[in-house]
Amino acid sequence: MSIDAGGLAEEAGRLEGRGPGLGAAAYRHLAGLERRFEAERDQLPLWLPVGLILGIALWFWLPDRWAWIAFLAFSLATALALAAFAGATRVGRALAIFAFAAASGCGLIWWKAEQSAAPRLERPRMLEFEGKVETVQALAAERTLRLVVAPQGEWEGEGRPARLRINVSEENETAASGRLEPGAVVRVRAWMMPPPPMAAPGGYDFARTAWFQRIGGTGRANSIVVVTPAAEQGWQARIADWRRRLAAHIRERLGGGPEGGIAAALATGDQHGIPEADAEAMRRSGLAHLLSVSGLHLTAVVGAVMLMTLKLLALSPALALRCRLVLVAAAAGALAGIGYTLLTGAEVPTMRACIAALLVLAGIALGRDALTLRLLAVGALFVLLLWPESLVGPSFQLSFAAIAAIVALHEHPRIQALLSRRDEGSLAAMGRFLLALALTGLAVELALTPIALFHFHRSGLYGAAANIVAIPLTTFVIMPLEALALLLDPIGLSAPFWWLAGRTLSFLVWLAHAAAGAPGAVALLPAMPRGAFALLVAGGLWICLWRTRWRRLGLVPVGVGAAWALATPAPDLIVTGDGRHLVLRTDGGGLALLRPRAGDYVRDTLAELAGAEPDYLDLESLPTAACSRDLCVADLDRGGRRWRILATRSAHFVRWDQMVRACAEADIVVADRMLPRGCVPRWLKADRMLLRRTGGIAVKLDSGPGIDTVAGQVGRHPWAP
C-alpha cells in the first residue's frame, strides 16, 4: 500500500486532534517532505550517483577500517530502517536508496583499493632490470619522457613491483638505441625510490595515485637500452608511431613556435612542443584545459563527424527515406570518438570523456535529448563503477562539474525562455548568442573555481572571460581548420588553411598572455579545509539537481563553505616530511626558505600550500634571523607573542651541549635527523622521529597554535607510509 502526502497530512491531523505530541509533528514534517519529493520526482534518480559519490568520498575522508565499517553499518541500517518503516512513502524509498548507494560506494572503493595492492619499493636504491614499456608521456617543461614500465624476469630483494614510473632525460632518450614507445622491452639502470607521500598537508598525494595504478616506485634513469623494439609488439606501437609522426608533421607545417605545439596537442595530445612560457600563460589564464585532450576536444570531433555524415547522407533522397540517418551519423561519431581516443594515447580522462560521449550518442540514437542531467548522471555512474578512485582527482571533478553547470543552466525555465530562438533580426540573434556564451562561461567558472582552488590553490580570475572567447575559437575555428588542412595535405591544397590556423592560434596565445599578465590575474588560496570543500560541493549539487524553490537552500552550504575557505589563515610554517625543507611566512606576507637551492618542484609545492607566489627570500636574509653553516634561528611575532624557530640545514652534527642549549631557547625545532633526548624545545620538536609518524606538517601560530599533519589527512589508508 502506498501512502501519499495527502494521507500523511490526514494522519497528522488525526494525531494532532488527540493532543500535542511528537507523532503529529513528525507526520507534519514527513508530509512536507513527501510533497517536496513528489514535486521533484523526476529529479530523484539524479541523486543515485550522488549517493555513490558520498560513500566513495567518505572512504577517502575517514581515517581507518573501523570508521569505514561504522559508516557501512550505519548506512545499511539506515537503508533497512527506512525501507521497513517508511518504504511506502516516496521520501522513505528515495532516502533508503540513497543510503544504500552510499554504502555501495564505500564498499566499492574499499574493494578496489584491496584489489590494487601490489609490492612497493621499501627504500631508495639503484636498480637494473628489464621491463615492458606500457605508456610514454612527454614532459614539455622538463624536456624528458615519463615511462611506465612493467618489470619482467628475475627481481632481487623485496617483491617485484607491478609497475615503475621512470623519467628519461633527452640525453638518455637519444642513447636508448631505439624508440621508447609502448610495447618496447627496455633494460634500465635507474635510481628508484618508493612513491613519495604528500609533501605537506593539502598537497598532491602521488602515493595514493600510484597505489591505484599499481606503481611501486618512481625514479630517474641513468641509462636505458631498447632490447626489443615496439614494432614487434603489435598495434600499440603502430598507433604511437603514427601519433608521433602526425605531431611532428603539424609542428613542421606551423613552425617551431607555440602555434605548432598547441596544434599538435589538439590533434594528438602531445604537449612536448609548447614553450614553457606559453604553457605557464595558458595555466595562469585558465586556458590550460585546452591543451589536454578532454571532453571539449572529443565533443568537437564527434560533433563534426556526426554533422558531416548527416549532411552528406541527406544528399541522397533514397537514403534519407529508407534509413535512419541520425542512427548512422551517431555510429560514425562513435567510431570517430573511439579513434580519436586511441590516437591521443587513451589516457583515463580521455577514456572517461569517450564513454560519456558514447552514452550521449546512444541517447540521440534512441531519440532522446542530446545532453541532459540524466544522461550525465548515467555517465558519472558508469565511470564511478569502473574507476571509483577517479572521484578524488581534479580531472573527474572538473569535467563533470563543468557539464553539470552548463546543463543545469540551460535547463532552467527562465534561461530557456531568455535564450530560445525567436523571430528577430540578425543583430539581436547575435546578441542573444553572445549572452548565452557569457552566461555559460560564468556558470562554468563558478563551478570550477572551488575545485581549482582546492586542488591547485590558485584560479585565474579572468578565466571566464578568456574562455568565452577561447572555447568557441578552439572548437569551431581552430580544430576544423586543422582538420581541413590535414585532409587537404595529400593533394597540396592545405596551405591557406594552415595559414589561417596559425593566425588563430597566435591570437589564442596572445589572449592567454593578456589574461595571465593582467593585474590580479590569479587568485591564490592556501590549502582549503576538506570540510569547506565538501560544503561547497554539496551546495552546488543541491542547486544543480533540484528544480523547485528549495534549491535555493543550497546557497547556505555554499556561503558557509566559501566563508570557511576564505577565513582559513595561511600556515606560518610548513615543513616537508623529510625535514629538509622549511618555509616561513614573514611579517610582510612573503615566504622565506631554509634551503635556497631547493628544486623547482619543492619551491612551487610549498608556495601553493602557503597560498603565495614562489618568490622566496633566503631565511638568513631576514632581519630577525641568524644562520650558521649548520643551523638557522628565526623569530616570528604571532598571536601576541614571539616564537623562536630553530632548524638544521646541513648534514654535519652539532656539538651536544650547543644543540641542547639552542633547543632550550627555541619554541620549535625542525631537523632532518634524529635529535638527542636532551633537545627539549618549549613547544614542538619536529625531528626525523616525529616526522616519520606525522609526515609533513603545517603550523599555524596566529590564532592559537595548531598543527596539521599529512598522517592526519591520509589516516591508515593502504598507501600510507
| Mean pLDDT confidence for 426-454 | 83
Q: Could you tell me the pLDDT band of residue 535, with boundaries at 50, 70 and 90?
A: very high
Give the per-residue pLDDT at 562: 93
Q: In the chain, what percentage of residues exceed pLDDT 90?
A: 29
For the ranges 19-28, 196-205, 597-606, the one whose mean pLDDT is highest: 196-205
The pLDDT confidence band at residue 693, using thresholds 50, 70 and 90, is: very high
**76 close to 103: Cβ distance less than 8 angstroms:** yes
State mean pLDDT over 69-94: 90
pLDDT tops 60 at residue 257: yes
Q: What is the pLDDT of residue 316?
A: 79
| pLDDT tens per residue across span 19-71 | 444 456 666 777 778 888 888 888 899 999 999 999 999 999 999 999 999 99
Residue carrying the nine cell digits 494522519? 11
Q: Does pLDDT of 17 surpass 60?
A: no
The C-alpha atoms of residue 674 and residue 256 are separated, in whole angstroms, by 52
pLDDT at residue number 590: 85
* Model pLDDT, residue 216: 92
Instruction: Report residue 610's pLDDT band, with 50, 70 and 90 as the boundaries.
Output: confident
pLDDT of residue 118: 92
Mean pLDDT of 162-180: 80
Three-class SS of 246-271: HHHHHHHHHCCCHHHHHHHHHHHCCC
What pLDDT band is residue 236 in, cutting at 50, 70 and 90?
Answer: low
Pick from 350-364, 490-504, 651-665, 694-708: least confident: 350-364
> What's the pLDDT score for residue 10?
56
Q: Bridge-partner residues for 635, per DSSP?
A: 644
Strand partners, 641: 638
> Can you give the pLDDT at residue 101?
96
Rounded to whole angstroms, how far apart are CA atoms 551 and 286?
29
DSSP string, 164-177: EEEEEEHHHHHTTS
pLDDT at 231 over 80: no
C-alpha cell at 638: 604571532
Segment 343-368 shows an average pLDDT of 73
Grid cell of 37 as nine digits: 519529493
Helix (H, G, I), strand (E, B), or coil: what is residue 471? helix
Segment 381-387 long-range contacts (CB within 8 Å, at least 24 positions apart):
381/48, 381/49, 381/52, 382/355, 383/352, 383/355, 383/356, 384/49, 384/52, 384/53, 384/56, 384/105, 384/108, 385/52, 385/108, 387/348, 387/352
Stretch 553-563: mean pLDDT: 94
Highest mean pLDDT among 1-15, 294-308, 532-546, 648-662: 532-546
**What is the C-alpha separation between 604 and 586, in angstroms, rounded?**
17
Buried b (16+ CB within 10 A) or exposed e, 585-606: bbeeeebbbbbeebeeebbebb
Number of alpha carbons in the 13 Å side-chain half-sphere of residue 355:
22
Evaluate if residue 392 carries a pLDDT over 80. yes
User: Could you tell me the pLDDT band of residue 428, with boundaries at 50, 70 and 90?
Assistant: confident
Can you give the pLDDT at residue 708? 92
Domain range annotation of the chain: 5-115, 125-233, 530-567, 573-714
Segment 468-487 mean pLDDT = 83
Question: Hey, which of 98-107, 165-174, 570-579, 634-643 has the most confident mean pLDDT?
Answer: 98-107
pLDDT at 20: 47
- Residue 416 and residue 419: Cα distance in Å, rounded? 5
Q: Of the ranges 34-38, 258-262, 555-559, which is most confident?
A: 555-559
Q: What is the mean pLDDT of residues 392-419?
A: 84
- The mean of the pLDDT values for the chain is 84
Report the pLDDT value the prediction gives residue 89, as an integer from 0 to 100.
83
Q: Express each pLDDT in 264-318 by its tens digit.
A: 888 877 777 778 788 878 877 777 777 776 666 777 788 778 888 888 888 778 7
Percentage of the chain exceeding pLDDT 70:
90
The CATH architecture of the domain made up of 125-233 is Beta Barrel (2.40)
pLDDT for res 96: 94
Quick: pLDDT tens for 114-130. Answer: 999 999 998 888 999 99
Question: Would you call 224 helix, strand, or coil by DSSP?
Answer: strand
285 neighbors 460 (Cβ within 8 angstroms): yes
Per residue in 315-340, pLDDT tens? 778 777 777 778 888 888 888 888 87
pLDDT value, residue 404: 85
Q: Which residue has the higher pLDDT, 270 or 654?
A: 654
